[in-house]
Amino acid sequence: MSKDPGFIGVDFDCTLATYTKWTGPENMGEPIKPMVDRVKSWIKEGKDVRIFSARGKDSYPAMRRWMAKHLGAVLPITNIKEPQMYAFYDDKAIAIEPNVGEPYSQENEDEVLDRGEK
């Protein structure tokens, strides 16, 4: 099986690991099982998976330890949305139809925007 030409980006906080508030660069949340299982499956399939995070580089050592423990692999960490990223899993994203500018789901858009107003 050949590798995909690009990579899958997975947000860390609130998508892969629980997060409620900032408590420092060493503090990582608990694994979110459905997403952890999905990432493990992709790793097993040979897909290129990278962790996307707004955390500073001072959090990277703790994130790597977390990944080794919960994913069984240490994945690259980035904060740059690169053109090679063909899928992005994130709790704040709203999927937009390419070259149309409209959300695929009004329900998803409303749900995400409502979180910011609370």
**CATH code, domain with 109:** 3.40.50.1000
Q: Is residue 79 part of a domain?
A: yes
The residues near 61 (Cβ < 8 Å, ≥ 6 apart) are none
Q: Is residue 91 part of a domain?
A: yes
Residue 13 φ then ψ, to 5°:
-75, 130
DSSP string, the chain: -PPPSSEEEEESBTTTB--SS---TT----B-HHHHHHHHHHHHTT--EEEE--S-GGGHHHHHHHHHHHTSS---EE-S--TTEEEEE-SS---B-TTT--BS-HHHHHHHHHHHH-
Q: Does pLDDT of 118 surpass 70?
A: no
Q: Is residue 17 part of a domain?
A: yes
pLDDT band at residue 112, thresholds of 50, 70 and 90?
A: confident
Condensed to tens digits (0 to 9), the pLDDT of residues 31-55 reads: 999 999 999 999 999 999 999 999 9
CA distance 115 to 90: 14
* Domain that includes residue 81, residue range: 7-117
Q: Is residue 104 part of a domain?
A: yes
| Mean pLDDT value across the chain | 91
Q: Is residue 81 part of a domain?
A: yes
Q: Is residue 49 part of a domain?
A: yes
pLDDT band at residue 1, thresholds of 50, 70 and 90?
A: very low
Q: Is residue 89 part of a domain?
A: yes
How much is the pLDDT for 3? 52
Total structural domains within the chain: 1
